[in-house]
Amino acid sequence: MSPKVRFKEYFDHEYSKLYNMAFFEIEKRNSEIINLKDTKNVSFHKTTKIMIMLLYIFYQKISNEIWNFGAKHYLIANKHN
């Protein structure tokens, strides 16, 4: 199997892991915000703003991880050519 094929399979696997991790974190944060709204009597508008901020921060983190992972392994795969 060529390094490029191995890279693609490995990248697909790692990308899926990061994607699933992102959905897990979003669900976890969503539950925390709903609990905050219910227990602290915080308005829906404020909890929505908090959630959007958290999702944006998490999106940036995941995007950076995916970019770094892809760039690193692309260089490794092409090193053999």
Q: Where are the domains of the chain?
A: 3-79
Q: How many residues does the chain have?
A: 81
Kindly state the tokens that stand for 17: 């892991």
What's the pTM? 0.42
pLDDT of residue 54: 75
Report how far residue 57's alpha carbon sits from residue 69's, in angstroms, rounded to the nearest whole number: 18
Confidence of residue 4 (pLDDT cuts 50, 70, 90): low
Structural contact between residues 74 and 4, judged by C-beta atoms closer than 8 angstroms: no
